Chains A and B, each alone.
Chain A
């Protein structure tokens, strides 16, 4: 086995062109190997010491989050917290401080788990993954990227260099809410992200995506009826019903399919509610799970 420590993106790409697989924080790869899930790849390139991957750059129309940005950075980065709050909500719920300090956004995205926390926020915020090889870059939407549990459409030599997210218009807000049985070291049983833009008191646009209820992150369709409403009880019910109907959850150790189908509706409803309130200018601290409801600190 060999491992190269890259100090630039070019070095990463060269190593991958030669067959290496990238490793960032190792929170999926190493933990999985030690658990006997899959052996470590024979040839690795470490990408955690590439400074250009660890930046958040706010442009005129979009923001580029380097794939090496850690969850700990995401939950505190001013640009992320203010513009893409759902990502900060999600990053703050991942694992433990140790996991968040080494685990990266790029790693989370390319691992492709349907239970990943940052996935649903990226979908509702319209993010694209920037995939790069020695021959150049292309961008794919998140739905194009994830093709199944743990599977992406990226070629073997394509490296995720960044996630690029359009800057939201004024009066926008987003949130990620997760069902959790305990308050640390938890994995999503179900989770939901929402991104909302308001026009005055009513909803101008809304997107909702769901965690851990389908083979990949699932965007909820048919929410057009919400546009023009001010999100009160009937609309909340519509979101919950749509989420529950479109989810295709499984029964496993963590929950039955019936319980998942019910709670995904609850999470979706709460995510939209928190996103609306943020869009209205209310300061709801990150993560929503600790600011509101059962998980709240007080």
Chain B
């Protein structure tokens, strides 16, 4: 184990090949594309949360000059889709279940005509009762969001009941009996509002048919998922659909999954012209099946007087929204976060994913984690207070360490969580040095590593330059650029000599794309192997020329040399030129998926939500917060982060990920929350009213990495790092706010008004200090 602490000035330079294009404006995003004869698309949305369609008449729209196609459910194949529970059609059929449900799509010669035609579509409906409140949705008397769900195709062992889409339980030991033996029992309720990924680029799609093949340029994080969605819904074979992703203006999970590519492809086919869709900011908030889920956490923990946790019971309700996006495993994920990285001998956590008439929920950066961690880590400070311990000492006593057993029976290999705690706390300094109305809040978090298949090709060209062809996707993080470094290191060349060919399903082998912190973890393993194949070929060529054994050849600094005799060497470019006239230097690899540990205690679709803890990523964040006691406005002044994410391969990228995750976490903590009206519709679907943090709000951030070589995970002992930094910040901010306010703020985001309101309450609920 090593601890890495480097300042920004000391970080090695690393070239982001996509950087200059993006900064100078010469790069092309999907919305920048224009094709000959291209039309513009507009959707007609239901704009009502729950209703039965009584009339949908597109005839007036079809007759408008400049309109070349209007399509509805009647114009596409009869397919119910989405993973796990096939509860959805491309266009509304009979019943609409959230405001962003698409009734029809229009293609016209200008965006203005398309929007006017969409507005001219006659839509009449009979209102149905809106299911908006999460607890009310679970009542026996609640109206059903999906009345006929018996008829939906379901994959896996899904436990469901009325509006509960999936249920999962973590069970370890006899929690009730253990709870009865506790000296102190603390119960808390925490409620998190829904929030958004809010990428800076609203999504855009361009589709063009040539014969029976369609090419779709789209702002997706997951080109293969997008392709599979088009194939499934339009009933096309894989090799007739090609997805290309131009530069992507951020994703944060919001552009994962399959979204609107099929709608635009179907529209282009009907119009017999290329068609382009560009979302407005309002649509980007309202229509995608990706938002961060609202959540209720009821949590009870029993401890002994010496501060040892003996039992935990919890009940969770998670807002799935109207349709299944990818949230089926969220109950498992959320349960793991509410268990937390603690030694707890007896656990019973029941987690429900609940249908409502809201926008569907889906994987936004570290789904369920910021809210789950916020709840459990706020609760942990309450526990510490209840037994008279400091928050840090209570965690020292109860956190999991190397060799301990986690919530699902998995025993941990070497992990660095306790080291993260000590590093972050030490970095934050002494609480006695704090100013008035300031406090430090501590929180720990964890995040899984999702191991899935991925492939890569590599080729060294005649001049010694290298192309890596990967299904990885750049979504703003720069993680794909680490793939260049991995290939370069294998081949002993500079990363700048490696070009990535990516974001095109026709070129690259299958891979998960930019989702679930998998770029390095999964694509990295494939790239490493593909580059290694070329390295082996180079070593054999060099061995021939240098009269040595291939095993004695070292590739470094652009040359192949004999081990121990660096003077005996040959430039790789010379070998590459030789190969170009004979056996080409090509590598291809499919990275095998690491084995999952044996698990116990969950019932739900698959076990991805718990099994993926095979190489858990750990973190501790300490937030220094100041509160204006007169207004409740909180400001995060400093965040001290320490992370165990395995080996760090690209330090500057790693620091960037942590800093971005923290800033996003502060937004979730303080200002980012979706407000719903009684009608189930979003009230603040706009940048003015949905308040992201700005760079002016950014705190000073220190980041340290506890580097532990993690076998059987990512390349070179690495894990992912995209989501882990987004887990613990809101919880750390919560614990600092509670110290200053003297009260817990039990709803997320902890807005100024909520903080102020809590401070007006006279009784201290305990656990604040």
A positions within 8 Å CB-CB of B: 35, 179-187, 253-256, 259, 262-263, 266, 293-295
Contact = CB atoms under 8 A, between A and B. Distances in A.
B697 interface: yes
B631 A182 contact: no
A255 B751 CA distance: 10
A242 B563 CA distance: 85
A138 B283 CA distance: 46
B484 interface: no
B689 A179 contact: no
Contacts of A180: 633
Contacts of A182: 671, 691-694, 696-697
A266 B628 CA distance: 11
A49 B104 CA distance: 45
A35, A179, A181, A295, most chain B CB atoms within 10 A: A181
A263 to B, nearest CB: 5
Interface of B: 626-628, 630-631, 633, 635, 670-671, 675, 683-684, 686-689, 691-697, 751-753, 756-757
B434 to A, nearest CB: 13
Contact of B628 (A256, A262, A294): A294
B631 A295 contact: no
Contact of A295 (B635, B684, B687): B635
B200 to A, nearest CB: 13
A294 B675 contact: no
B688 A181 contact: no
A259 B753 contact: yes
12 contacts: A181-B752, A182-B692, A182-B693, A182-B694, A182-B696, A183-B694, A183-B697, A184-B697, A253-B684, A256-B753, A263-B756, A294-B635
Contacts of B691: 181-182, 186
A294 B435 CA distance: 12
Given A254-B689, A256-B753, A181 B633 contact: yes
Given A253-B683, A266-B631, A294 B626 contact: yes
Contact of B631 (A35, A185, A253, A263): A263
B696 A294 contact: no
Contact of A262 (B626, B684, B756): B756
Contact of B688 (A187, A255, A293, A294): A187
Contacts, number: 54
Contacts of B697: 182-184
A92 to B, nearest CB: 12
B693, B694, B696, most chain A CB atoms within 10 A: B696
Contacts of A179: 631, 633, 752
Contacts of B671: 181-182
Nearest to A185: B694
B286 to A, nearest CB: 14
Nearest to B694: A184
B262 to A, nearest CB: 28
A9 B202 CA distance: 40
A51 B675 CA distance: 45
Given A35-B686, A259-B756, A295-B633, 9 more contacts: A181-B670, A181-B751, A181-B752, A182-B691, A183-B696, A253-B675, A253-B689, A294-B628, A294-B633
A179 B628 CA distance: 11
> Which 9 A-B residue pairs are closest in the complex by CB-CB distance?
A294-B628, A183-B696, A184-B696, A184-B694, A266-B630, A259-B753, A253-B689, A253-B684, A294-B633
Contacts of B686: 35
Contacts of A293: 628
Nearest to B684: A253
A184 B631 contact: no
A180 to B, nearest CB: 8
The interface residues of chain A, by DSSP majority, are classed as loop
A163 to B, nearest CB: 26
A266 B689 CA distance: 23
Nearest to A190: B631
B575 to A, nearest CB: 52
B556 to A, nearest CB: 47
Nearest to B630: A266
Contacts of A185: 687, 694
A256 B757 CA distance: 11
B756 A294 contact: no
Contacts of A253: 675, 683-684, 689
Contacts of B627: 294
A188 to B, nearest CB: 12
Contacts of A181: 633, 670-671, 691, 751-752
A57 B751 CA distance: 43
B686, B753, B757, most chain A CB atoms within 10 A: B753
A185 B696 CA distance: 10
B761 to A, nearest CB: 14
A254 B670 CA distance: 13
B630, B686, B691, B757, most chain A CB atoms within 10 A: B630
Contacts of A184: 694-697
A35 to B, nearest CB: 8
Contacts of A259: 753, 756-757
Nearest to B637: A298
Nearest to B633: A294
Nearest to A31: B688
B723 to A, nearest CB: 24
Nearest to A186: B691
A295 B695 CA distance: 14
A13 to B, nearest CB: 33
B627 to A, nearest CB: 7
A74 B688 CA distance: 24
A263 B628 CA distance: 11
A34 to B, nearest CB: 9
A184 B693 CA distance: 9
Contacts of B635: 294-295
A253 B628 CA distance: 21
Contacts of B675: 253
A181 B675 CA distance: 16
Contacts of B757: 259
B675 to A, nearest CB: 6
A269 B582 CA distance: 83
A294 to B, nearest CB: 4
B651 to A, nearest CB: 29
Contacts of A35: 686
Nearest to A269: B630
Contacts of B695: 184
A253 B635 CA distance: 21
A294 B631 contact: yes
A186 B686 CA distance: 13
Contacts of B756: 259, 262-263
A48 B561 CA distance: 67
Nearest to B667: A182
A180 B753 CA distance: 11
Contacts of B633: 179-181, 294-295
A116 to B, nearest CB: 14
Contacts of B630: 263, 266
A265 to B, nearest CB: 9
A129 to B, nearest CB: 27
Nearest to A255: B753
Nearest to B754: A259
A170 B627 CA distance: 36
B116 to A, nearest CB: 13
A106 B692 CA distance: 29
Contacts of B692: 182
A98 to B, nearest CB: 13
A281 B626 CA distance: 29
B623 to A, nearest CB: 15
Contacts of A254: 689
A259 B755 CA distance: 11
A66 B694 CA distance: 31
Contacts of A186: 691
A296 B532 CA distance: 54
Contacts of B751: 181
B629 to A, nearest CB: 9
Contacts of A295: 633, 635
